[in-house]
Each structure stands twice: as C-alpha cells, then as structure tokens.
Amino acid sequence: MKDTCLQKAFVAFGLLVLANACTKQPADNGSATGGASGSGGASGSGGTTASGGNGASGGTASSGGTVGGGGSTASGGATSAGGGKANGGSSSSGGTKATGGAASGGASGGSTSTGGAKAEGGSIASGGAIGSGGTIGSGGTPRTDGGVTPIDGSTVTGGSAATGGTLASGGASGTGGSTHAGTWQIMPLGDSITGTTCYPKLLSKELIDKGHPNFSFVGTVLNNQSCGSGVANVQTEGHGGYLVTYLISDDNKSQGKGSLTELTTWAAEKPDVVLMEYGTNDVWSSISPANITSAYSFVVDQFRSRNPSVIFFVAQITPMNPSGCTDCEGRVEALNAQIPTWATGKSTTTSPIYVVNVWSALQPASSYTPSSTNTSDGVHPNPAGSQLMADVWYPGMVAHGIP
C-alpha cells in the first residue's frame, strides 16, 4: 500500500514537472514573468517593496529567489530608491522635514520659520505680542501713543503742571501772577475806611513781616494814622466821604464826594494791583446794590484802559451800625451778597477780580456798634478792628501770589 502511494506521488510529481516544462522554460530572472512571484505575482514587479517583487527584481530569493540580486536589500529593497527612506521616504526631500516639512526648506510655513509662531506673523514678530502691534511695541504700554510715561503720560504735556494747570493764566504765577517782574505797585482805593483807618498801614507791615516785601503802596493820599510803633505811613487813594457811584461822571463834582475827573487821574497811575473797599457811603445813602456794582464795573474799566493787566481785589465791605441808621447793616449785607456774582462776570484771564470777605473779619456784625471793641462809631474800625481787616486781606492776596 505504501509503495503504491509513493509510486503515485512520484507519478504526480513527474507529471507536474512535465507540465511546467511544457508550458515554459526557466528564465534568467528566477521566477517567470507569469509565475507566482513574477511581475504579476504577489511579490513581483507589483510587489510590496522591490521594483516589482518582494525582494528581487521579480523572484523570491535568488535571481528570482529570497537573497538574490533582487533580494530584500537590492535596489528595490526597503532602503533603496523606492524604499521607506529614499527620495520619497519620511526624511527625504519629500519627507517630514523636507521642503514642505516642519523645519526644512519648506519651513517658511512651519512653526518657527517665516510663518511660524515667532516669525513675522508670530507672537514675538512684527505682528506678535511684543512686535509693532504687541504689548511693548509701537502700540504697547510704554510707547508714545498713550503709554505710561511718554508724551501723553502723566508728567508730560497735559500733566498737573502743564498749560491750563494751576499756574496758568490768572493763576498764582500766570498772567498777573507771582512771576511779575519788578516791584508790585499796589493801590488801596476807597473812602475813609481806606484813607483814615489803620488797615492799609497794618496790611503793609504784615506783608513785609511775613516775607512779602516786593511791593509799594501808591496813591496821592498819605495815610499817616497813629497805628502803633514801627508801622510806616503808606500812600493810598482813600478819600473820606466819597461815593463810588459819583465816580461815573462829573455831575456831582461840586459836592467833593468823587468825580470822573478824579477817577481818570487815579487810573493814570497804572497800578499793578487795586485793593478796592468802596460802597460804605453809597449804602448809607440808600443806593441800590445794582447801582453800586454797576459803578464798580465802570471803575474797573477805567483802570483797565490804562493797564489791561490790572488785578483787582474787591472787598465785601465792613459791617455798619452807626447811630440813627438801623437798616444800614441790612443794606451792607445785601450789597455783599451781590459782589461775588458781579466779580465772576467781570473778571477776565488777563485782568482777574478776586473777592476778599473783609466783612467776616468784624463779626458778629450786630456787635459792631459805636464804642465797641473794634469800632468807635459803628462804621470805621479802630486799630484793633483794622488789624482784623489786615489779617483777612493778607491771605486773600498771597493766595494768588501777590505780592
């Protein structure tokens, strides 16, 4: 039985060899073109890694076999021109790092090249966070277009001490301020409260004693009242009995209580500063606050016509309770209430008007009566009352840098 099977096997093998021989003779390239591993076979020309086969040119190992010329390391093998690392491989010119790769010649589109994270469009480049549009760039925090310290910053143009600041026109050192060149020419202007009381002399002394000697009181009237030792006489334009409302014309010139002619003479002295305490006699004569403040405006205009930069300090006038005039104090307070509004409307940057509340120095007003502490007649302050007046004039002036 074994012999029979063996015989049959040999017969079959012989028939197979015969059939192959009849079909095609063995060729130079191992497995034939039409064989199992040939150009149409599993590992032939259309195979996985070789030019056409699995390893050899078309065969399996020798010329067509496993280790032959077309074997696994031959020209068509895994590392040859068509292999995994050849021209078309992962790291070749067309590979991951090649021209189109992350870091090769094509890196211009990669993560760190021209188009990368740090390139022109990157986070640190010209368009980046720190570039021209970045945090510290031309549009950044400390640049000149809105930064902390450049041109538009807190200490440069627009700052606390710049144009329009506290030292600007009308301010302490602006036009008419403490930057005045030379000696300040100051004119005390008014009626007998200015001409025959001690307030101008005591004010002059207080200014000098407290370190403000750069001034001279000017006017045609010498105030030489007895105001204590060491108090020098001063010049004023204080005229007893004068009414400010009489200064607007010469109609009442014959009465000797003020006239336009006299006013123009005073204005021609061109003082730098006028300290005006005017209106007591007008109030006593029952002239309305509106007419009195209108006369104030006329006086200011006359001085401005001679000196456009003249500075006015206008007093809210002293209390008044003379014998026989029970409503005088009420009229004083009515006038004083109008003075701040008038001053605001008349003041200019070039020629400012400041209001000094002299009335407040002699309070309570109801006690400012004849033979009282600060007045002998309820109208004119005595030396004690005059000192209280000077104590109010002084800070009112130096607050504006004068003198």
The CATH superfamily of 184-398 is SGNH hydrolase (3.40.50.1110)
Whether 159 shows a pLDDT value over 90: the answer reads no
> Domain segments of the chain: what residues?
30-77, 184-398
Whether 312 shows a pLDDT value over 90: the answer reads yes
pLDDT of residue 50: 32
From CA 396, how far away is CA 358, in angstroms rounded? 10
How many alpha carbons lie under 13 Å from residue 295 in its C-beta half-sphere? Answer: 26
Whether 32 shows a pLDDT value over 60: the answer reads no
Run of H or E including 375? strand 375-377
Q: What is the pLDDT of residues 384-396, one digit of tens each?
A: 999 999 999 999 9
Mean per-residue pLDDT, 84-93: 37
State the pLDDT confidence band at 284, using cuts at 50, 70 and 90: very high
Residue 340 has φ and ψ, to the nearest 5°, of -60, -40
Whether 76 shows a pLDDT value over 60: the answer reads no
Mean per-residue pLDDT, 176-195: 86
Q: What is the pLDDT of residues 111-147, one digit of tens each?
A: 333 333 333 333 333 333 333 333 333 333 333 333 3
Q: Are 72 and 78 contacting, i.e. CB atoms less than 8 angstroms apart?
A: yes
pLDDT of residue 179: 65
How many alpha carbons lie under 13 Å from residue 249 in its C-beta half-sphere? Answer: 3
State the pLDDT confidence band at 212, using cuts at 50, 70 and 90: very high
Q: Is 268 helix (H, G, I), strand (E, B) or coil?
A: coil
From CA 127, how far away is CA 115, in angstroms rounded? 11
Mean per-residue pLDDT, 86-112: 36
Which has the higher per-residue pLDDT, 141 or 328? 328
Mean per-residue pLDDT, 178-193: 90
Residue 221 has φ and ψ, to the nearest 5°, of -110, 125
Residue 5 to residues 8, 13, 18, 199, 390: CA-CA distances in angstroms?
Answer: 5, 12, 20, 156, 150
Whether 330 shows a pLDDT value over 80: the answer reads yes
From CA 179, how far away is CA 177, in angstroms rounded? 6
Which has the higher per-residue pLDDT, 352 or 162? 352
pLDDT of residue 103: 32
Percent of the chain with pLDDT over 70: 56
pLDDT of residue 181: 87
Q: Are 374 and 384 contacting, i.e. CB atoms less than 8 angstroms apart?
A: yes
The beta-carbon contacts of 27-30 under 8 Å, at least 24 apart in sequence, are: 28/63, 29/56, 29/57, 29/58, 29/59, 29/63, 29/64, 29/70, 30/56, 30/58, 30/59, 30/60, 30/61, 30/62, 30/63, 30/64, 30/65, 30/68, 30/70
* Lowest mean pLDDT segment, chosen from 72-86, 228-242, 258-272, 374-388: 72-86
Q: If you compute the radius of gyration of the chain from its CA atoms, what whole number of angstroms results?
A: 56
- Other CB atoms within a 10 A radius of the CB of residue 233 amount to 14
From CA 226, how far away is CA 271, in angstroms rounded? 26
State the pLDDT confidence band at 180, using cuts at 50, 70 and 90: confident
Give the predicted TM-score (pTM) of the model: 0.58
pLDDT of residue 134: 35
From CA 274, how far away is CA 307, in angstroms rounded? 11
Beta strands in 150-253 (DSSP E): 184-190, 215-217, 221-223, 234-238
- Other CB atoms within a 10 A radius of the CB of residue 338 amount to 16
pLDDT of residue 375: 98
403 preceded by a cis bond (ω within 30 of 0): yes
